[in-house]
Amino acid sequence: MLKPTINVTPLIDVLLVLLIIFMVVTPLKPSAFKTRVPAEDRELPKNIEINPKTLAVIVGKDSTLALNTETGLGTASDSDALTTRLKAVFAERIANDDVSHSFADDPNRPFRDRIERTVFIKAPKDLDYGSVARVVDAVKLSGAYPISLQIDRLD
């Protein structure tokens, strides 16, 4: 009586196909995440003036959103009002030809205009990650570049 044997040829064929697929897909994954790390702490001058072009989105403890001192711009889960307001601010800056001094010549800049589009996001420590990510997405949707997270003096 003949002894049954396992034909491994189809198994090897499948493994070789999977190996080729993984070899092709591996270079397509992102290989870098660009960040700018702040410099070391140093003594700050006592009389610091706030730049009037600074845009800061503040997420409250109840997930409400504010742009600088302007409140009532929705919540972290419904940020359409914030996106509309930021688009209006950027459109006003384009109309006034308000050139950015820090990022105007950045080769990675996604916009042809040279206006100041920097936005800082400040959120409380106990706010969930998903809410902060939704706010970052809303700010990115409005056309901000770069987007920074404020890490000092968090509530």
Asked if 90 and 112 count as a contact pair (C-beta separation under 8 A), the reply is no
Residue 66 lies in a domain: yes
Tokens, residue 46: 């006592």
Average pLDDT, the chain: 81
Residue 60 lies in a domain: yes
What is the pLDDT, as a whole number, of residue 44?
A: 64
Number of domains in the chain: 1
Can you say how many angstroms the Cα of residue 29 is from the centroid of all Cα atoms in its chain?
18
| pLDDT single digits (tens) 69-93 | 888 888 888 889 999 999 998 888 8
Cα–Cα nearest to 82, from 66, 93, 69, 68 = 66
Is the pLDDT assigned to residue 108 strictly greater than 80? Answer: no
Residue 101 lies in a domain: yes
Is the pLDDT assigned to residue 105 strictly greater than 80? Answer: no
What is the pLDDT, as a whole number, of residue 149?
A: 85
Range of the domain at 92: 55-149
Residue 3 lies in a domain: no
Tokens, residue 11: 């198994």
CA distance 84 to 12: 56
CA distance 55 to 69: 10
Residue 100 lies in a domain: yes
Is the pLDDT assigned to residue 26 strictly greater than 80? Answer: no
- CATH code for the domain of 95: 3.30.420.270
